[in-house]
Structure 1
Amino acid sequence: MKIGTIDIGTNSMRLLIADYKNNKIENRKKYINITRIGQGVDDKGYITEEALERNLNALKEFADKCIEEKCEKVYCMGTSALRDSKNGQDFVNRAKELTNIDVKIICGEEESNLGFMGVLEGAGGDKSNYILVLDIGGGSTEFIVGNEDGIKFCKSENVGALRMTEKFITTDPISDEEFNKMSDFIEKTISSTLDKIKGMHVSKLVGIGGAITSLSAMNQQLEVYSMEKVHNSVVTKKDLEKILQNLKKMTLSDKKTIKGLQPKRADIITAGVKILHIVMEKLEIEKIMISEYDNLEGLICQNSKKMS
């Protein structure tokens, strides 16, 4: 069966089209559009009309793609920005009218579950040890600890690459003062979650989400993004610190020329990388494995298992 899954994130909208056969996901194709539905949500509390229009148009394009690819089912989820905005339901209603797609606004816990499910789907090797899955999005960061038997702990924190950039960064290049204020805020916000994770004997850190996959692409200096090269790639803390030091010094126009980084993500990448740096530093973890299987694959698994 051919299935389409759509994730309307704070910073980007993503589409996965894949075949689901014999309980396996095959022939994966992913599409991404940086649509920023969350622009200003933290500050104003609602999605602007401009952002609504932009995202409705992007969703229509994805819906048409699903029709073109003959998807038998299409599932769509909305995450942090739609959760937090006062007019999220307005978007859901207009999306249904325009595309006939039901957008389900999911809570942080469900987002965590789907991300974890997707990671396990794409993971090879031993799945019995506890892993920490970290999903750094535009509006929030999900922390999930578990193994093949299920999830032991999960928490969604309101620190994301777009949210932190909007809240703290006004200078270009970023001033030390703003960078330090942002770092302190992230650290304070996630410290109790990290304290809980410390005692859980996590054997591996796996990262998903745009900031983390971009970090891998930058580390490999990929001219053209490749799911195959990013999936199961490893970034060490040393690699990450080198990239972070460079990002801090660069202007926005310089960042837009970095190999492996989408120009539309350039303004928020420093915040995303810093969130990861704090997590690795505090948990004393030396490397992160990157997964290209995430909540989009998780959404296929969840719905396919319901049908079978």
Structure 2
Amino acid sequence: MADFAPPDDSKGAYPTEGKMSGEVADKGYHQPPKPTNSPKRHRKSDGRRRNPAAKRTSAPGQKGPRGGRQAYAALDLGTNNCRLLIARPSGQDFTVIDAFSRVVRLGEGLALSGRLSDEAMDRALGALHVCAEKLRRRNVFLARSVATEACRRAVNGAQFIDRVREETGIVLDIISAQEEARLAVLGCHVLLEQGDGPALIFDIGGGSTELILVGPGEGAIPRILDWQSVPWGVVSLTDTVMGGMTAGQADDEQGRLDLYAAMRRTVDESFAPFARRIGDAPSAEDIRLLGTSGTVTTLASLHLQLPHYDRRAVDGLIVPSRSMRDISANLSRLSLADRAKVPCIGTDRAELVVAGCAILESILDLWPAERLGVADRGIREGILRSLMSGDLDRGTRT
């Protein structure tokens, strides 16, 4: 296992060290702010943005000034998807009252150009306008909106964040890879199989993949022992490897297999430092594995032979790893047109699913568990749990 202090070693499971990577949105979603000549905003001494006009109303879960229970929101703008959850506390959990998800391909072309394209930003803004309207209608009490790898990597990422605020009123914070891993664990760890052995949680995104090794922690939340983020997700890996192929190289089955092998090599090289740190994994029957991403939920749907995606059937499912490998191998041989005809894949995922399969198989080589837990939950749920439990220390009310 890792022979150095892990990122969260000093303060238990999820220390913030007085600071968080992402920040709470500092305004309501009633109208976009008017442009000013001065971009500076008032900051408190703890470094968090606060809305000076925000009223300290009721505590989380209590009734607000309009009556009814408070609504909380989590928005995750990733490299491939824009996702929103709005929920109310319900005992130790929460009840979702509104949700939104759209494929925006924000990171399309980023791996080769280093920039967010105008077309990609326009797609993302279209989705964010929908999110802003939902936030207005639901009178959200407390929200956190985050952006991940595409905005971290793009040279014009900060400018895009400014444009989003000006046009939609949504304040996006570009969170670190470590914070992304923390939120993913917080959002899905309840689906880990019971056991005493070590566990690996992973999140295959559009622009990056996070690997998080966890062990027993304080209470129900596991302790992060080690983690690594690599810059390969379904969009970035597809763009990079496909960009290096000659025209027509993947037109036949052998060409597609060569493409898949190139993806596997690329991912394996990036995973190598993490593999060296954790050493040899224990025997397959002693280890646990949990994945959260569109890749694992899609492949789990194929394992179940569902005619269309059903979250209730997939979230929390335990799938034999061998089945996921077989499905990945079969998909890697199919043409783009044939993949688009497969139930639960369709045109939206047909181009990107092979890269997800390559990343998943590399993870199964790294951590050869016999079974794979599937989670249709992650960063957004982690944000909501943080907001509702007070992890953000009285974050700004919208």
Q: What is the TM-score of this pair, normalised by structure 2?
A: 0.72
Question: For residue 142 of structure 1, what is the aligned residue in structure 2?
Answer: 210
Question: For residue 68 of structure 1, what is the aligned residue in structure 2?
Answer: 137
Q: 1:293 Cα shift? A: 2.4
Question: For residue 101 of structure 1, what is the aligned residue in structure 2?
Answer: 170
Question: For residue 293 of structure 2, what is the aligned residue in structure 1?
Answer: 209
Matched letter for residue 131 of structure 1: A
Question: For residue 159 of structure 1, what is the aligned residue in structure 2?
Answer: 232
Task: Give distance in 1, aligned partners of 2:359 and 2:193.
Answer: 28
Contact 1:141 1:157 (8 Å CA) reproduced: yes
Question: For residue 194 of structure 1, what is the aligned residue in structure 2?
Answer: 275
Q: 1:262 Cα shift? A: 4.3
Contact 1:79 1:111 (8 Å CA) reproduced: yes
How big is each residue's C-alpha offset from its partner over 1:138-186, in whole Å with a ceiling of 9 and x where there is no partner? 1110011224432111111111111111111352455332222221111
Aligned with residue 182 of structure 1, among 263, 278, 300: 263
Task: Give distance in 2, aligned partners of 1:212 and 1:125.
Answer: 16
- Give the number of the structure whose residues are more often helix, by fraction: 1
Task: Give distance in 1, aligned partners of 2:118 and 2:209.
Answer: 26
Matched letter for residue 16 of structure 1: L
Task: Give distance in 2, aligned partners of 1:32 and 1:261.
Answer: 16
Aligned length: 307
**Map 1:215-294 → 2, pairs under 5 A:** 215-294=299-378
SS state at 1:175 partner: helix
Q: 1:229 Cα shift? A: 1.0
**Map 1:42-53 → 2, pairs under 5 A:** 42-53=111-122
Task: Give distance in 1, aligned partners of 2:78 and 2:114.
Answer: 16
Task: Give distance in 2, aligned partners of 1:192 and 1:152.
Answer: 15
Task: Give distance in 2, aligned partners of 1:68 and 1:220.
Answer: 37
- Give the number of the structure whose residues are more often strand, by fraction: 1
Task: Give distance in 2, aligned partners of 1:127 and 1:239.
Answer: 22
Contact 1:92 1:102 (8 Å CA) reproduced: yes
Task: Give distance in 2, aligned partners of 1:231 and 1:266.
Answer: 21
SS state at 1:17 partner: strand
Q: 1:243 Cα shift? A: 1.0
Q: What are the ranges of 5 or more consecutive residues in structure 1 without an aligned counterpart?
A: none
SS state at 2:143 partner: strand
Larger radius of gyration: 2
Q: 1:124 Cα shift? A: 7.0
Matched letter for residue 168 of structure 1: V
Q: 1:105 Cα shift? A: 0.3
Shift of the 167–72 alpha-carbon distance from structure 1 to 2, 3 Å rule, reads same
Contact 2:192 2:373 (8 Å CA) reproduced: no
Contact 1:237 1:280 (8 Å CA) reproduced: yes
Moved over 6 A (4+): none
Task: Give distance in 1, aligned partners of 2:192 and 2:185.
Answer: 14
How big is each residue's C-alpha offset from its partner over 1:68-101, in whole Å with a ceiling of 9 and x where there is no partner? 3343233211001100000111111111112211
Matched letter for residue 157 of structure 1: V
Shift of the 117–28 alpha-carbon distance from structure 1 to 2, 3 Å rule, reads farther
Q: 1:125 Cα shift? A: 6.7
Question: For residue 109 of structure 2, what is the aligned residue in structure 1?
Answer: 40
Q: 1:222 Cα shift? A: 2.3
Q: 1:283 Cα shift? A: 2.4
Aligned with residue 156 of structure 2, among 87, 95, 98: 87
SS state at 1:139 partner: coil
Shift of the 30–227 alpha-carbon distance from structure 1 to 2, 3 Å rule, reads farther
Task: Give distance in 2, aligned partners of 1:269 and 1:181.
Answer: 15
SS state at 2:342 partner: coil
Matched letter for residue 81 of structure 2: S
Question: For residue 130 of structure 1, what is the aligned residue in structure 2?
Answer: 198
Matched letter for residue 330 of structure 2: N
| Most deviating of 100-109 and 169-178 | 169-178
Aligned with residue 114 of structure 1, among 183, 193, 197: 183
Matched letter for residue 176 of structure 2: C
Task: Give distance in 2, aligned partners of 1:73 and 1:258.
Answer: 40
Matched letter for residue 82 of structure 1: C
Contact 2:191 2:373 (8 Å CA) reproduced: no
Matched letter for residue 83 of structure 2: R
Q: What are the ranges of 5 or more consecutive residues in structure 2 without an aligned counterpart?
A: 1-69
Q: Are 1:78 and 2:159 an aligned pair? A: no
| Most deviating of 210-219 and 28-37 | 28-37
Identity of aligned residues (%): 25
Contact 2:192 2:290 (8 Å CA) reproduced: no
Task: Give distance in 2, aligned partners of 1:166 and 1:39.
Answer: 7
Q: Are 1:168 and 2:241 an aligned pair? A: yes
